[in-house]
Structure 1
Amino acid sequence: MTDRVRRVSGGQVVYAELKRRILSLDLPPGRRLFEPELSQQLQVSRTPLREALRLLLAEDLLEQLPTGGMVVRSLSAQEIDELYTVRASLEGLMAGEAAERMTEEAVEALSLLVARNQKLVEFADDAMNAGHDFHLKIAQISAHGWAARLHEQVDGQMARYRAFTNQSQSRRTAALHEHEAILEALIARDSARARHLAETHVLGARDTALAAIGERLP
């Protein structure tokens, strides 16, 4: 951990660091967590560590073992299917709403994000982040409170799977073209088309993630 993180105490800081490691797969699925080891690594006492573990357990990022220990939750094809299907509906709803709320500022902001995506399409992590920012901006423009809150919750759970949708250049290029088409629909204020394209885009990412995760599962 950095010096800044070490200086701050409390379960929330430990929680944030452990969550980062889980979502980035630095703590891989199925990894058994040992409190003494984590306490030493993070340079914290057992009290904030246990608080953090309880929070991660409540978020379904950890699983409780019958013996009382905890493991990082395994990757699941069923979970991918459920998360992406829910997200597709939310993304479609928000894209449709955003199309009706487009302003010159919104057009400029989304166009800059797509341009960034175009420049970074050959780089897996950068392209993934650029595309993710595009979706988050649409959520903001939509101004749909409940959809945005639910989207944030689903988005957090999907972080472990997002990299699987972006591994091949062909998929990154396809995703970029899909973003460009969504942007065109938004600029045209075509709510129905924006909704359809956003849903189709997320379902395409789901299929890619399912194929990728299938190679990792027994």
Structure 2
Amino acid sequence: MTQPRQTSGPRASGAHFVYVELKRRILDLDLKPGERLYEPALAAELEVSRTPLREAVRRLIAENLLEQQPTGGVVVPRLDARDILELHEVRASLERLMAGTAATRATPEDHEALRGLLARNEALVDFPDDAMAVGAAIHTKIAQIADNSWAQHLHEQVTNQMQRYKLYTNNNEQRRHRALQEHRDICAAILAQDADRASDLAFRHVLAARDVVILAIHGSDLDDSDDSDDPP
């Protein structure tokens, strides 16, 4: 069974620790789509009582990162093509809004920050995890520049849901390089204060990632977890 990551500081306690750890496992696919959670085993492994575990599980259910079955069991939601389409469509619309707004609001300091992030993206494009992190930082910076609190809040929610699909684009070398060029183009439009072009490029950038995920997920065995109610 997967062990929690070790940290240098004191471990967080109670429900928050369990929430953070379970969320990490779900998003990293350490807990596979369709896999059932077994409360006694998890409580023993994480060295917590049932109360904080159940509190964390309820929170993850509310975020749609876990599902409550009619029988009472709790499972990790399966990877679903419809979810992929809907999540990417929503994120594409949010990215379009924020990129267009950022083009009208970016300061010289923002321009410099975007250039720095692009330089890091280029330097790290051949390192999947690092490339993903700096790509996310570019999107976060654009959202900060746009300064639309509701768009940022919804974007964060959607992005959390999409984390489970990241390996399909992150591990695709061709897609990473294409995404780098798309980031360059989006940022160039923002620097040029071309809101319409920035909006259009940001929208198409997200849909291009969607297409890669859709192609990759077909035939994947990540959605074939055992539905049995019996503990392993």
TM-score range, shorter chain: over 0.9
Per the alignment, residue 138 of structure 2 pairs with: 134
Residue pairs, 1:150-165, within 5 angstroms: 150-165=154-169
Q: Which of residues 70, 83, 107 in structure 2 aligns to 1:103? A: 107
Per the alignment, residue 65 of structure 2 pairs with: 61
Deviation per CA, 1:17-36, whole angstroms, max 9, x where unpaired?
Answer: 11111011111111111011
Distance, in Å, in 2 between the alignment partners of 1:170 and 1:96 is 27
Moved over 4 A (4+): 3-7
Per the alignment, residue 192 of structure 2 pairs with: 188
| 1:94/1:138 contact within 8 Å kept | yes
Bigger shift: 199-208 or 123-132? 123-132
| 1:6/1:43 contact within 8 Å kept | no
Distance, in Å, in 2 between the alignment partners of 1:188 and 1:72 is 44
Which TM-score applies when normalising by structure 2? 0.90
Q: Which of residues 48, 72, 76 in structure 1 aligns to 2:76? A: 72
Per the alignment, residue 86 of structure 1 pairs with: 90
Per the alignment, residue 148 of structure 2 pairs with: 144
User: 1:5 and 1:35, CA in 2 relative to 1: closer, same or farther beyond 3 A?
Assistant: farther
Structure 2 stretches of 5 or more lacking a match? 225-232
Distance, in Å, in 2 between the alignment partners of 1:203 and 1:3 is 36
Q: Letter of the 2:30 partner, please give it.
A: D
Q: Letter of the 2:31 partner, please give it.
A: L
Distance, in Å, in 2 between the alignment partners of 1:23 and 1:132 is 15
Q: Letter of the 1:127 partner, please give it.
A: A
Deviation at 1:145, TM superposition (A): 1.4
Q: Name the structure with the higher helix share.
A: 1
Deviation at 1:57, TM superposition (A): 1.0
1:26 pairs with 2:30: yes
Distance, in Å, in 1 between the alignment partners of 2:87 and 2:145 is 22
Deviation per CA, 1:49-107, whole angstroms, max 9, x where unpaired?
Answer: 01111111111111122221111111111101000000000000000000001111101
| 1:5/1:13 contact within 8 Å kept | no
Which TM-score applies when normalising by structure 1? 0.95
Distance, in Å, in 2 between the alignment partners of 1:86 and 1:143 is 18
Deviation at 1:12, TM superposition (A): 1.9
Identity %: 56
User: 1:4 and 1:116, CA in 2 relative to 1: closer, same or farther beyond 3 A?
Assistant: closer
Structure 1 stretches of 5 or more lacking a match? none
| 2:11/2:17 contact within 8 Å kept | no
Deviation at 1:41, TM superposition (A): 1.0
Distance, in Å, in 2 between the alignment partners of 1:161 and 1:21 is 13
Q: Letter of the 2:62 partner, please give it.
A: A
Q: Which of residues 160, 180, 197 in structure 2 aligns to 1:176? A: 180
